[in-house]
Amino acid sequence: MSKRMDGRADSNGRVYQASGDQHIVEHHHHNEMGSVAWEGIESVRHPTGGRAPVVLRDRTELMERLQAAVAPEAGNQVYVLHGMGGCGKTAVARTLFQYATTDGNRVGLWVNAADRTSLRSGMLAVAADMGATEGELIAARNGLRAPADLVWDRLGSSARPWLLVLDNADDPEILQDGGWLRVSPRGTVLVTTRRAAARWWLHAELHHVGVLPREAAAQVLCDLAPESGTMEEAAEIADRLGRLPLALTLAGGFLSHQVIDPWTMTRYGHHLGGHGHVDFIDQGAIALAREDARHLITRTWQLSLDALAGRGMQESTALLRLLACYGADPLPITLLNTPQINGVVPQARAEVALRGLLDQSLTAVVDVGVRCLQTHAVLLASVAASTPREQVTELTGTAALLLAAHVPAIPQRGPQDPRMRLLAPHVIALLRNSTEASVVAETLDVAVRLTCALHRTGDYLSAWELASAAVAGAEPELGREHRLVLSAHSRTGRALFRLGRFEESEAVLRSVLADREKLFGPDDPDTLDSYFGINPPLQELGRVAEGIALLRRAMDGRERVLGRQHPLTLQAQAHLLECLPIAELVLEVDNAEMPLPQECALHLGPQHAVTLGARLSYAVALFRLGRFDAAVLDARLVAEDYQRRHGPDYALTLSAQHLSARARAALGDMDSAVELMVVVAHRREQSLGAEHPYTVQSYELLEEYRAQAAAHLTD
C-alpha cells in the first residue's frame, strides 16, 4: 500500500510509517487498558447529597410545583433551585426524587455536578444506565465522540419518563461548556445551585430556596430532638440559627445524641453565644436580609465537637478538620484506614472519631459504588476557616500523605481501582487549601501519579482536566520551573495528544522539553522522557525525521544514564524498530548480537510488559522487511500471550491480531486475513467506537481483503 496512513501514539504508543511500497500501517497503545466493561462507579439511581430530611418542612408551594413537573406526560423543562449553601436545596431535590420514583413511577437519576470530572463521570453513568453500549461509553470517555450527545441520545430514547437531578451545580460554566444541560420530552431536569443569575439558566424555571419560616424551622428541631424542649423554645433557637436548614440539622443532631447528660433546648441556647462567628465566603449566594446565617454554622458544629470531647472523643475535632482539607465530593472511607493518619488522629481511634461525627450529623456515609464520606461544603468551609493557623500545615500534610498512600507510585495497566477517579476532586481541593510549599509539592506529586493512572485506563479527558487543574493550583506556589510542575505540564500534553489535539500537544511538550533541557540538562531522566514523549505528536504532524532524532536521543541517553538493560532503554529501542527507515532497520535487525525480544526476556523476564512490547515491535519490523512468514508466527504468539494476560479486547491483543491479518494477506491467505480482521474490526468498534481512526482503518482493510478474496474466486 502506498497511500499514507495516519499513525497516532504517545509516551506509551507506537507509530509505524513508511513510504513507497512498504507495508507499514499499524497502531498500538502501550501501557493502557484494553476494552473492559464500563467502570461506572456512580450510583445514579440513588441521591448522594447526604441524609434525607426526616420531614421536609415548609416548601409546600414549591413542592406542589415540582410534583407537577414530574406528573405523567410532563417533561421538556429545566427547573433550577437556587439559594445559599445550607438552605436545603438538596433536601428539596431528594424529596422530589423520592416522590418521582415512587408515586410518579419515573426513573430517578442523580448526578453530582460540582466539577467537570464528577459531572462527566456521572452523566456517562446515566448513559450506561439508559442502555449505552460499552463501545459507545469508552469512545465518549476517550473523547472520540461528544459525551453529552451520547447521554442525551439515550435519555431521549428512554422507554420510561425520568427525573434527572444535577446537584451542586455551583459552576454553571461546566454545564454550558460541555452541552450537558438540555431538555427532552421524555423527562424533567432539576438543578440545585448557588448561582442565580438568569444568564446561566436561559429558558429554565427558577425557584429561590431561602431560610425557613419561624414555625417550620422550630418544627425541624422538634422533628430531630422531640424530647429536648417545646415549640417556643425551638423557635428561639431557630431564630438564633438564622433558620438555616443546615444549622438546624446540626443542632438537632447534637441534641438527639446526648445520652448521659441530655441537653434541653434552653441549655443549648445558653451556649450558642459562647463561640465567635467565622466569616467565610459563600460565593454566588443571595445574602439574607437579617443576620447573615453563614456566620452561624460555626456555633452548631463547635457545640457538637465540644460535646464529643466531653465524652472522650476529642479526636473527632481533629478528624473533622482533616476532612475540611478535602472537597465536598464523596471521599473514600478507606482513605482514613492507613497509618499515615497518625499525624492527626491515632489510627486506632479513627473509627471512634468518625462515629462521633456521624452521630452528630457532621458527615454522612454515602455509597457510590465505593463507601464514601460526604460532608456539606458550607460546613467544610466553616471548619477550615476556624482551624488554628498553627495546625494547618500538619493537617494538610497528613491529608496529602493519605492521598499519596492510595495512589500507586507507578500506575499499571488494567482495570482502574474505582477509588482513583473519586480522589481527583480532593487532590485539587487540597492544592487550593495548602499554602506550605512542601505540602503543595507532595500533593502535586499525587496529582501527577493520579493523572497517569487515569490516562492508562483511557480516561484522557479526566487526565487532562486533572493535570491542567493541578498546574493551575500548584504553579503559583512552586513556580513554572519546579520539576513536578513540569511533570504536570507534560501529562497535560500527553492527554491532549490522546484527545486528538496534536498541535496543542506538541506545543506543550516542546515547551516542557525546552525547560527540562535548560534546567536539568540533556541526560536527566525527565529530559529523556520528554525526548521520548514528543515523538508521537511529531510523527502525527508529519515531522518524522525530527521525531526519530529525538527518540534516538532518548534511547542513547537512557543507555548512558540507566544502562543498556534498563526497561526504559529497551522500550525506546523497541519503538525505534517501528519507525526507522528500511535501510537502517535491516542493519538493526540483522546485525544485532541477539534479537531484541530475547534480550528483553533475558534481562526483564519473558512476561515483562516491555518484553511483550518488544516482541510485537519485532514482529512489526519483520513485516516491514517483507519477512511475512516469520511475522505471522511472532504476531500470533504475542497475540495469544496478550489475550491470556489481558483478554480479547485488550488494545495490544488487537494490534497483534491486526498485524497477523496483514501478514497473512501479504502471503495471499485472504480467507484467514478476512476472518481475523472481522474480529479485530468488531472488537475495536466496541472498545474504541465506530469513529475511532483505528476502527475505521480496520474496516477499510477488511473491505480491501474481502474484495481481494472475491477477485481470487473469480480468477
Whether the per-residue pLDDT at 13 is higher than 60: the answer is no
Whether the per-residue pLDDT at 697 is higher than 70: the answer is yes
- The total of structural domains in the chain comes to 4
273 pLDDT band (50/70/90 cuts)?
A: low
The reply to whether 332 and 295 lie within a common domain is no
687 pLDDT band (50/70/90 cuts)?
A: low
pLDDT computed for residue 10 by the predictor: 35
Average pLDDT of span 384-409:
93
pLDDT computed for residue 292 by the predictor: 42
Whether the per-residue pLDDT at 18 is higher than 60: the answer is no
pLDDT computed for residue 296 by the predictor: 55
What is the Cα Rg of the chain in Å?
Answer: 29
pLDDT in tens, 190-228: 999 988 888 889 889 999 888 888 999 999 899 888 888
pLDDT computed for residue 286 by the predictor: 36
Whether the per-residue pLDDT at 370 is higher than 60: the answer is yes
The reply to whether 306 and 319 lie within a common domain is no
Range of the domain at 26: 13-32+537-714
Average pLDDT of span 627-655:
89
Of 28-37, 450-459, 688-697, give the lowest mean pLDDT range: 28-37
Whether the per-residue pLDDT at 294 is higher than 70: the answer is no
The reply to whether 328 and 407 lie within a common domain is yes
pLDDT computed for residue 414 by the predictor: 56
> Does 6 reside within a domain?
no
Whether the per-residue pLDDT at 458 is higher than 80: the answer is no
The reply to whether 397 and 508 lie within a common domain is yes
> Does 135 reside within a domain?
yes
Whether the per-residue pLDDT at 615 is higher than 90: the answer is yes
pLDDT computed for residue 32 by the predictor: 35
Whether the per-residue pLDDT at 22 is higher than 60: the answer is no
pLDDT in tens, 521-554: 999 999 999 999 999 899 889 898 999 999 999 9
The reply to whether 190 and 151 lie within a common domain is yes
- CATH code at position 649: 1.25.40.10
Higher-pLDDT residue of 382, 562: 562
Higher-pLDDT residue of 568, 19: 568
Query: Which of 208, 237, 256 is a domain's end point?
Result: 208
- CATH code at position 190: 3.40.50.300
- In sequence order, which residues have a C-beta less than 8 Å from that of residue 151 and are 6 or more positions away? 123, 124, 126, 127, 130, 180
The reply to whether 423 and 502 lie within a common domain is yes
Say which DSSP state 262 is in.
Answer: P
42 pLDDT band (50/70/90 cuts)?
A: low
Pairing between β-strand 77-82 and β-strand 205-208 as defined by DSSP bridges: parallel
pLDDT computed for residue 257 by the predictor: 74
> Does 282 reside within a domain?
yes
The reply to whether 392 and 432 lie within a common domain is yes
Average pLDDT of span 596-614:
93
Positive or negative: CA dihedral 137, 141, 144, 148: positive
pLDDT in tens, 86-144: 888 999 999 999 999 999 999 999 999 988 888 988 999 999 999 998 778 877 877 76
The reply to whether 303 and 321 lie within a common domain is no
Higher-pLDDT residue of 662, 697: 662
Quick check: 503 and 516 in contact, CB under 8 A?
no
pLDDT in tens, 174-183: 998 879 999 9
The reply to whether 572 and 464 lie within a common domain is no
- Residue 398 sits at the vertex; the CA angle it makes with 397 and 402, to the nearest 5 degrees, is 120
304 pLDDT band (50/70/90 cuts)?
A: confident
Residue 59: alpha-carbon gap to chain centroid? 35
Query: Which of 494, 520, 546 is a domain's end point?
Result: 520
Higher-pLDDT residue of 157, 11: 157
pLDDT computed for residue 161 by the predictor: 96
Whether the per-residue pLDDT at 299 is higher than 70: the answer is no
Residue 41: CB atoms within 10 Å? 20
416 pLDDT band (50/70/90 cuts)?
A: low
500 pLDDT band (50/70/90 cuts)?
A: confident
Whether the per-residue pLDDT at 278 is higher than 80: the answer is no
> Does 547 reside within a domain?
yes
CA 534 – CA 554 distance, rounded (Å): 10
Q: Which helix (H) or strand (E) holds 404?
A: helix 389-406
pLDDT computed for residue 31 by the predictor: 35
> Does 496 reside within a domain?
yes
The reply to whether 244 and 158 lie within a common domain is no
Average pLDDT of span 294-316:
77
Extract long-range pairs of 437-441: CB within 8 Å, 24+ residues apart. Answer: 437/477, 437/478, 438/397, 439/393, 439/396, 439/397, 439/400, 440/473, 440/474, 440/477, 440/478, 441/474, 441/478, 441/482, 441/484
The reply to whether 81 and 183 lie within a common domain is yes
The reply to whether 84 and 199 lie within a common domain is yes
Average pLDDT of span 21-50:
47
Extract long-range pairs of 272-280: CB within 8 Å, 24+ residues apart. Answer: 272/237, 272/240, 272/241, 272/299, 272/303, 275/299, 275/302, 275/303, 278/382, 278/385, 278/386, 279/385, 280/381, 280/382, 280/384, 280/385
Of 45-49, 473-477, 665-669, give the lowest mean pLDDT range: 45-49
Q: Alpha helix (H) ranges present in 311-376?
A: 315-323, 347-359
> Does 170 reside within a domain?
yes
Q: What is the mean pLDDT of the chain?
A: 85
Whether the per-residue pLDDT at 17 is higher than 50: the answer is no
Query: Which of 495, 520, 545 is a domain's end point?
Result: 520
pLDDT computed for residue 321 by the predictor: 96
pLDDT computed for residue 660 by the predictor: 96
User: 452 phi and psi, to 5 degrees?
Assistant: -60, -40
Average pLDDT of span 403-425:
82
Closest of 416, 423, 365, 433 to residue 39, by C-alpha: 416
> Does 470 reside within a domain?
yes
> Does 532 reside within a domain?
no
